[in-house]
Structure 1
Amino acid sequence: MPNVHLTEPMQKYVQAQIESGAYANLSEVVRAGVRMLMEKDGARQFYALKADLEMAATLAENGDFAEFDAQAFEPDAFDR
């Protein structure tokens, strides 16, 4: 999987990054890009979870919830 095909504008940008000293070679530029995508994906997951939690809190505040029975959920934890 080491082959990377870039458009001409991307090639020029990468070459400028290397010439400026920001990166030593194409591999460093690609790794930086992949790291940014990974961070962005992590942020996307965080905000999706946050939205889910906000919706659950709103439902609970409106009385749309079920009582949790810890003993029914994990009966062995109460056998002491």
Structure 2
Amino acid sequence: MPNVHLTEPMRDYVEGQIRSGAYANLSEVVRAGIRLLMEKDGARQFYALKAELEEAAAAAEAGGFAEFDARAFEPDAFRG
């Protein structure tokens, strides 16, 4: 695994977190930071999807859509 190079303020912060007992070592601090980044990325994806859905809903409300005919799209699904 790669080495982690930290600035002095980051090292001081990490050492303080370890001294306080919040984390046992540098690896725990790094994992916690990566988890936060992963959560943030998930939130970013969520908000991007939400914006796309809002845009699509606005287009639909403004009449920018076509009727969907499920029977024409998948006629075999409606054969009994």
Would you say same fold, with TM above 0.5? yes
Question: SS where residue 64 of structure 2 aligns?
Answer: coil
Measure how far apart 1:76 and its partner are: 2.4
> Any idea what SS the aligned residue of 2:59 has?
helix
State the AA in 2 paired with 1:52. Answer: E
User: What does residue 41 of structure 2 align with?
Assistant: 41
Note the C-alpha offset of 1:75.
Answer: 2.6
Bigger shift: residues 67-76 or 27-36: 67-76
Q: How many residues align?
A: 80
Q: Which residue of 1 aligns with 2:13?
A: 13
Measured on the aligned residues, the alpha-carbon RMSD in Å equals 1.1
Normalized against structure 1, the TM-score is what?
Answer: 0.91
Q: Which residue of 2 aligns with 1:70?
A: 70
Gap regions ≥5 residues in structure 1: none
Tell me, in whole angstroms, the C-alpha distance in 2 between the residues paired with 1:78 and 1:22.
60
Residue 46 of structure 1 and its aligned partner are, at CA, apart by 0.6
Q: CA deviation at 1:69?
A: 1.5
Matches within 5 A, 1:49-68: 49-68=49-68
1:38 maps to amino acid:
M
TM-score, structure 2 normalization: 0.91
